[in-house]
Amino acid sequence: MPILPDQVANFDSNIYVKIFKTFGALSTFYILSGLGLKSYPIYFYIGIALSLPYVIYRIVLVFFIIKQYISNLKNGKYTVKNSPLDKF
């Protein structure tokens, strides 16, 4: 059962999005680890400029995952038809 809708999964597997996710994750690590504060301020600001869109992208992705999960619950895709607990 897919976690993401088909359109979002296709967008997420795009090569440009993969490059964006790589740079975004590295710059987020750079900021959160404290290395950014020890380097030149221009590198710190570049790291922030790359990490903020990545964090927003991840928040939107979580929104789509929750939306897909609720949709699957409403459609009954998580219903267990042959449960061993039916005998009791």
Tens of pLDDT, residue by residue, the chain (88 residues): 678 888 888 888 899 999 999 999 999 999 988 888 888 889 889 889 989 999 999 999 999 999 988 888 888 776 666 666 666 5
In a domain, 11, yes or no: yes
**Stated pTM of the model:** 0.75
Question: In whole angstroms, what is the distance from residue 10 CA to residue 28 CA?
Answer: 24
In a domain, 32, yes or no: yes
In a domain, 86, yes or no: no
What is the number of domains present in the chain? Answer: 1
CA 80, 69, 15, 28 torsion: positive or negative?
A: negative
Contact at 8 Å (CB) between 31 and 8? no
User: In terms of residue numbers, what domain contains 67?
Assistant: 6-79
Q: Which of 6, 15, 22, 18 shows the shortest CA–CA distance to 64?
A: 6
